[in-house]
């Protein structure tokens, strides 16, 4: 986006970027940028907080009056209010007493994953009804079907893509994104305002899905398929990779 800003300026269109990674913005030197101290994926702040998001947007637009002659990076002064842990929030309990112990266990992990997704389904439905929306749907099939596809992959069955015209590897990546959204939205059904860290700790440290995604990452990284090695990092955030 920083590079695109220069092209827009050359065409006579004033631009301002919202930067989530300040060192990157400092290297690419956009004409104008507002650095925000939020997690990746939340450039204007927490979801469902229109007043906060409006302040971010107005702060960014306020930089448009600056000259393009010198790269300007402004700092947004507020932190994401949702980054404060909610001590009252508790994520859904796992059906397995120690999910990380399932790592590498293909059949057992696949069975635990499918059972977990079935258990989370009512909470997911309640969350969708309460929030009147869902971000699940990237692959275009139901979460249960995404789970079946991933479970078959964990068992080593080499399943075909559930979507015509899409490679199995790309389908696996999209299924992973849908299942992460499914689980996190289910975790919100119990109420409260958990921080993204709380949600991440629950997903990556307390669910069979988190173990399954890490198992997939490891297999793809160690495999012979170069495309799999390229896609592998997308399954688990770098900060959530389990130690070998």
DSSP string, 72-124: EEEE-----GGGS--TT--PPPPSSS-GGGGTT-HHHHHHHHHHHHHHHHHHH
Residue 203 has pLDDT above 70, yes or no: yes
Whole-structure pTM value? 0.75
Mind listing the pLDDT tens digit for each residue in 110-169?
A: 999 999 999 999 999 999 998 889 999 999 999 999 999 999 999 999 899 999 999 999
Mean pLDDT score of the chain, rounded to an integer? Answer: 88
Pairing of strands 17-19, 72-75: unpaired
Residue 198 has pLDDT above 80, yes or no: yes
Tell me which of 96 and 230 has the higher pLDDT. Answer: 230
Provide the 3-class DSSP secondary structure of residue 95. coil
H-run or E-run covering 57: helix 50-61
């Amino acid at each position: 986006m920083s590079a695109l800003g220069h092209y827009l300026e050359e065409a006579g269109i004033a631009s301002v970027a919202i930067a989530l990674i300040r060192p990157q913005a400092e290297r690419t030197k956009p004409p104008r940028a507002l650095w925000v101290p939020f997690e990746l994926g939340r450039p204007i702040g927490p979801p469902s907080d229109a007043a906060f998001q409006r302040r971010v947007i107005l702060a960014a637009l306020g930089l448009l009056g600056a000259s393009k002659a010198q790269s300007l990076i402004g700092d947004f002064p507020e932190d994401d209010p949702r980054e404060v842990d909610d001590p009252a929030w508790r994520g859904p309990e796992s059906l397995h007493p120690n999910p990380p112990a399932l790592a590498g266990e293909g059949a057992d992990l696949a069975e635990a994953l499918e059972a977990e997704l079935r258990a989370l389904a009512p909470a997911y439905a309640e969350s969708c009804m309460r929030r009147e929306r869902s971000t699940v749907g990237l692959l275009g099939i139901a979460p249960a079907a995404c789970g079946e596809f991933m479970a078959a992959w964990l068992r080593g069955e080499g399943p075909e893509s559930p979507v015509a015209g899409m490679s199995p590897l790309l389908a696996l990546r999209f299924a992973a994104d849908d299942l992460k959204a499914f689980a996190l939205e289910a975790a919100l059904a119990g109420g409260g305002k958990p921080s993204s860290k709380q949600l991440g700790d629950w997903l990556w440290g307390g669910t069979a899905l988190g173990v399954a995604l890490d198992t997939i990452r490891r297999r793809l990284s160690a495999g012979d398929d170069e495309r799999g090695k390229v896609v592998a990092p997308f399954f688990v955030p770098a900060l959530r990779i389990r130690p070998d």
